[in-house]
Amino acid sequence: EADIYQTPRYLVIGTGKKITLECSQTMGHDKMYWYQQDPGMELHLIHYSYGVNSTEKGDLSSESTVSRIRTEHFPLTLESARPSHTSQYLCASSEGGGGNTIYFGEGSWLTVV
Amino acid sequence: DQQVKQNSPSLSVQEGRISILNCDYTNSMFDYFLWYKKYPAEGPTFLISISSIKDKNEDGRFTVFLNKSAKHLSLHIVPSQPGDSAVYFCAASGYYGGSQGNLIFGKGTKLSVKP
């Protein structure tokens, strides 16, 4: 069973606000990911990290940024939220890359009004 | 262009019967395939996986079949239970080009199991 935690679970904020979505895992996994999913659509990879001080952009372009200062922590930040950022954001981790199962947190639902 | 396709957006099955969820992929470099289950307000939960060296993997009520020549995999749930009602995502990965082994997901199939 995965031990990966996301906060907040639900957030409603006004346009132009800065937000940080927190993600922590206790499994010691090197690789971490952020996916974005709109209802009825596939999950799109927006950021990933191989380990401390490593961050890479995913397949879907995103205005968000991430950091990886500690192995267990992979926060995502939006400097100025817009209604187009309304979505579900899913954090995940795995021991390594291909051939490894990734485990997801419960997700953060962001609504920008 | 979608590399992982789940062509059935929804599936309805009677409790106790078999549920068969299908997934097609286009990239022959994929060598690892997974199924996830997702409830509306939660993150995806890993169900079962299969590597390309196998054609079948079984775990309790869940069996995944892989047909590499057809680039097709399926998830069988027997017997289906109302608690299985969720969205099921197929995902695939492989090392090629700039993929970095990251998972590519399909759009999901919503399974409804009726009592």
Could you report the per-residue pLDDT of A46-93, keeping only the tens digit for each? 999 999 999 999 988 889 999 999 999 999 999 999 999 999 999 999
Q: How far apart are CA A31 and CA A42, in angstroms?
A: 21
Answer yes or no: is pLDDT of A95 > 90.
no
Distance from CA of A69 to the nearest CA of B (A): 21
Between A37 and A41, where is the model more confident?
A37
Q: How far apart are CA A66 and CA A48, in angstroms?
A: 9
Residue at B28: amino acid letter: S
Model confidence at B69, in pLDDT bands (50, 70, 90)? Answer: very high
Model confidence at A99, in pLDDT bands (50, 70, 90)? Answer: low
| pLDDT value at residue A113 | 97
Answer yes or no: is pLDDT of A1 > 70.
no
Which contiguous run of DSSP H or E holds residue B111? strand B109-114
Q: What average pLDDT is seen over chain B?
A: 93
Smallest CA–CA distance from A107 into chain B, residue: B43
Cross-chain Cβ contact A104/B45 below 8 Å: yes
Cross-chain Cβ contact A97/B32 below 8 Å: no
Cross-chain Cβ contact A40/B107 below 8 Å: yes
Spatial contact of B21 and B72, defined as CB atoms under 8 Å apart: no
Spatial contact of B31 and B15, defined as CB atoms under 8 Å apart: no
Spatial contact of B29 and B95, defined as CB atoms under 8 Å apart: yes
Smallest CA–CA distance from A97 into chain B, residue: B101
Answer yes or no: is pLDDT of A45 > 60.
yes
- Any idea what the Cα angle at residue B60 is, between residues A94 and B13, rounded to 5°? 100
**CB < 8 Å to A40, chain B:** 9, 107-108
- Range scoring the smallest mean pLDDT among A94-103, B41-50, B74-83, B85-94: A94-103
Cross-chain Cβ contact A98/B46 below 8 Å: no
Q: Which residue in the set B46, B101, B108 is minimally distant from A97, CB to CB?
A: B101
Residue at B12: amino acid letter: S
Instruction: Please give the share of chain A, as a percent, with pLDDT higher than 90.
Output: 81
Q: What average pLDDT is seen over chain A?
A: 92
| Side-chain-side CA neighbours of residue B88 (13 Å) | 30
> What's the average model confidence in pLDDT over B23-51?
93
Q: How far apart are CA A33 and CA B70, in angstroms?
A: 30
A101–B contact, CB cutoff 8 A: yes
Between B70 and A38, where is the model more confident?
B70
